[in-house]
Chains A and B, each alone.
Chain A
Amino acid sequence: MRTASVKAGVARQLKNHTSFGQSLRHSLTMAYRGLLKIRRTPEQLFDVTLQPILFTLMFTYIFGGAISGDVVSYLPVIIPGILVQTVITTSIVTGVQLREDMDKGVFDRFKSLPIARIAPLAGALLADTIRYTIATVLTFTMGYLMGYRPDGGLEHVALAAVLVIFCSWAISWIFAFFGVIARTASSVQGISMIVLFPLTFLSNAFVPVETMPKWLQWFVNINPVSHLVTAVRELANSGTAGWDLGISLLGAAVIVAIFAPITVRAYMRRT
């Protein structure tokens, strides 16, 4: 304790709010913590590495012939579909891990620090974009290995990848909310699957909408996941951006605008 001495009050600038810049910096530091954690426990990346490989192989070879006649002509349909489905499913883990993390003592310290209230949540969610990136890269790589040659070119594929990662980050706020309000990590998993399963399968991700019954088409066409899948297909396969891209981005923004504040509030209340 030689060096430590308490700073006089004059030296401290006491403010009762955190600025936007500070909030951003705190969130980035929390994201850095998330990355360190991933590096320390790489086994938690199993799902994002195995799922894209397994699902891409299975779905393409099972449905390819039936839906598009042969595997290669099914690839432009299925790769964007499976990409969206896989990456969004990965975002469930964000909620589950958040719940586990919050039960640990370290979150008490975060709460007692003069940092932005949103930082522990935003940081955790931000760090998880690394998981979405891994899943995205692997899915496209699997597609390439099976003969997928998107006409949009590499830069449009990259744009599509960023779009999927951003939308998944937005959606992960929903699961973060479940994570904050649920009592156990496994219940987060349960609730999230129930929400996500119909949402990803009742879309145009795997089969053409025209083959479905009329009443189902109605839902599939308003399903935001369908719009995201279409946006990715347009970007990757033809390098064009249309109405669906706009809807996807708008939807993502709306989700964040609703779920980020209520998640932070629930997080603050849960003490």
Chain B
Amino acid sequence: MYKNNEWAVEAHGLVKVFGDNRAVDGVDLKVRAGSIYGVLGPNGAGKTTTIRMLATLLRPDAGSARVFGYDAVKESQIVRQLIGVTGQYASVDESLSATENLVIFSRLLGLGRAEAKAKAEELLEEFGLTEAAKRPLKNFSGGMRRRLDLAASLIAQPPLIFLDEPTTGLDPRTRAQMWETIRRLVKTGSTVLLTTQYLDEADQLADRIAVIDRGRVVAEGTVDELKTSVGTSSLHLRVEQASDVPETRRTIEQVLHAVSGVSSEAGVITAPMANADLVTDLLVALRAKGIRLAEMSVQKPTLDEVFLTITGEGAKNKEEASA
């Protein structure tokens, strides 16, 4: 089969520099064939640049990237035969219809005239676009465009598919449909590498996740491993007296056995919680110490908190610091 059947993607020390901005600064990734791999990070973390290098769209300044064992720079034309790319912005032709788009891509991939037509019809039906097949794309909704884009990536049935933020900007219903489609893809044997800004998306889809920040992988592991480090839920607290903050944080550490953080804007203390039940113990402890609360809530952990836990500071704070 391929040069390497075990690893769909192997990247070592990938670097891409734009001007004096090190967009990608030594990224290592290993994606097992047949799995869904999530690359999680805020805007500007280097997710898209990484994907573009793996997909032969961008030449790395340093490091190496291999797809099924083939070098993305030296054997780029082979790599292109093994991948499908769905970009952040729909990479389809706006002025043409859905059918025309798919027929042209099919023809470019070596299908005959009749085959290309049949393939286009088949994909349009699978993605629920048959009714809109003849309409120009200008009248397509964001969700329809993304579906068509994904359909175009599947023409050659590539064993590896790159999805760059496949659901950014989609409404919740369309998003759920997209997730369903991605899951079905993997069942047919494809490997999927997707990027996302949303923890719940990575949670829903990915087998393994790499958290990427400022061009570096800051954490890597299975969803469960990552979740354990973040906690299943997160506690948000605001105390009435600012002077109580240090004492509150000490109490949190004792009761929850977790490191808390303070956001600068509103003096909100946040802490990961492995068990939401523990909040009762914490409240009792705070009452015993006479600390009065202004606000208290338990929420699902956000991407910001993943960063808080992993790097010790919030993603937002970091952006401010570097700005």
Contact = CB atoms under 8 A, between A and B. Distances in A.
A37 B105 contact: no
Given A36-B96, A108-B85, A15 B78 contact: yes
Given A4-B188, A6-B188, A15-B77, A112 B122 contact: no
A90 B250 CA distance: 75
A40 B80 contact: no
B78 A14 contact: yes
A5 B189 contact: yes
Interface string B73-92: 00111101111110101111
B292 to A, nearest CB: 54
A109 interface: yes
A113 B126 contact: no
Contacts of A12: 81-82
Chain B interface, DSSP helix/strand/loop, else mixed:
loop
Q: Which of A22, A112, A113, A115 has the most chain B CB atoms inside 10 A of its CB?
A: A112
Nearest to A112: B85
Contacts of A214: none
A174 B108 CA distance: 26
A119 B108 CA distance: 10
B289 interface: no
A109 to B, nearest CB: 4
Contacts of A111: 56-57
B176 interface: no
Given A112-B80, A114-B109, A115-B108, A37 B96 contact: yes
B80 A114 contact: yes
A37 B5 CA distance: 41
Given A1-B184, A114-B81, A29 B104 contact: yes
A16 interface: yes
A229 B152 CA distance: 46
B309 to A, nearest CB: 35
Contacts of A9: 1-2, 5, 68, 159
Contact of B90 (A7, A32, A105, A119): A105
A226 B122 CA distance: 55
B105 A109 contact: yes
B159 A6 contact: yes
Contacts of A30: 108
A6 B93 contact: no
Given A4-B188, A15-B77, A113-B80, A32 B1 contact: no
B313 interface: no
B205 interface: no
A238 interface: no
B87 A108 contact: yes
A16 B105 contact: no
Contacts of A5: 157, 188-189
B237 to A, nearest CB: 44
Nearest to A14: B78
A271 interface: yes
Q: Which of B104, B159, B185 has the most chain A CB atoms inside 10 A of its CB?
A: B104
A8 interface: yes
Interface of A: 1-10, 12, 14-18, 22, 26, 29-30, 32-33, 36-37, 40-41, 104-115, 119, 271
12 contacts: A6-B158, A10-B1, A14-B78, A14-B81, A14-B82, A33-B104, A40-B95, A104-B93, A112-B57, A114-B81, A115-B109, A271-B59
Given A6-B188, A33-B96, A119-B108, 7 more contacts: A1-B181, A4-B126, A4-B154, A7-B159, A16-B77, A106-B94, A271-B52
